[in-house]
Amino acid sequence: MAASASGVITLLVLLLAGPLVWLLVALVKKIRGGTEEAREVTPVANESASEREEVKGIDYLMGLLGYAIGIGNLWRFPYLVGKWGGGAFVLAYLVCLVFVAVPAYVIEMVMGQYTRKSTIDCFRMIHPRWTGLGIGQVIMLSWVIPYYNVLLAYACIYIVGSLSDPLPWIGDSARYFNVNVLNSYEGNYDGVAFGGIHWQLAVALLVVWLIIALSVAFGKQILAKVTWVTVLGPVFLLIVLLVRSVMLDGAADGIKFYIGKFDGEMLGKLDMWAAACGQILFSLSPGMGTAITLSSYTKPKEDVVKTCFIVSICNSAFSLVGGFAIFSIVGNIAYNINAAGGSTT
């Protein structure tokens, strides 16, 4: 198994593109003698919030987008669409977006902007008895992040595997995931307990945590630059994935299932509505305190309602567009199985 030159080059471009762009921007500012960095933090107009730092409106928007858009848009959303009746789930998802997620999201943004406090202090400021709500949000976030980072660690293993030629999961992708990624045991589990540490997964998880630590350790200015990369990067990759996947054999059949299938009976099932509501709440994440904290750093006159609509629409659009790419690939897999004489029914 040899290294894939195209894979290595692609990975280097993705890793270095962001730092090189910001280095170029820094050089241009230095040559012009600009003072943009000094103007990023400005005093707040009212006295009660005079000690609170402020971020630019675009940095605030990109921060919220970076938090909302993630692997779940491409991993969990298409799976739920396939499980719950195709277009019926998409309809339920959009209904829950409008009537559940957006109202909850905008309330948190307004709370953060008005109180100029992070989540715990925000609820304490509303009423001391509400402090537990802020603490609860912190606990939930502390619980979700480690789980989510493990999923990112899985992706890191696949990134490393994609640098090989041929791809190591060709032939038996299920076994590669179960053995190489999950390090699953086969047979009798008695006496195994938690099992040994899978060093590949441990290293991948360490890399994920290091990236997070380096992103937040140097203050909001560096974090603002990181969000530009983490938002625009996935959008670019999604466009590449979409263009390539729709050209695959059988892609039309997958897209037909995605937007052509509408199982109306699913609309009468509460479990489907719970899944749709859970997906949009999982993606936008109101109730986690992030929107409160990020909004506490925005300007008092920032139009947070407009920002809420932009983030909500972009987040859902990413999921919906990603569905075309994923179901194109699913259609190609079905096409190849049928071509080989197998059955997908």
- For 57-109, give the DSSP string: HHHHHHHHHHHHSSHHHHHHHHHHHHHTTBHHHHHHHHHHIIIIIHHHHHHHH
Terminus-to-terminus CA distance in the chain, angstroms?
A: 34
Which pLDDT belongs to residue 131? 92
Mean pLDDT value of segment 319-332: 92
Least confident of 67-76, 217-226, 314-323: 217-226
Answer yes or no: are the C-beta atoms of 209 and 216 closer than 8 Å: no
pLDDT, one tens digit per residue, over 5-39 is 777 777 777 677 767 776 777 788 778 775 444 45
pLDDT, one tens digit per residue, over 49-89 is 456 778 888 888 988 998 888 888 888 898 899 888 788 89
pTM, two decimal places: 0.79
Answer yes or no: are the C-beta atoms of 87 and 260 closer than 8 Å: yes
How many Å apart are CA 286 and CA 272, to the nearest integer?
20
How many Å apart are CA 68 and CA 315, to the nearest integer?
6
How many Å apart are CA 57 and CA 254, to the nearest integer?
39
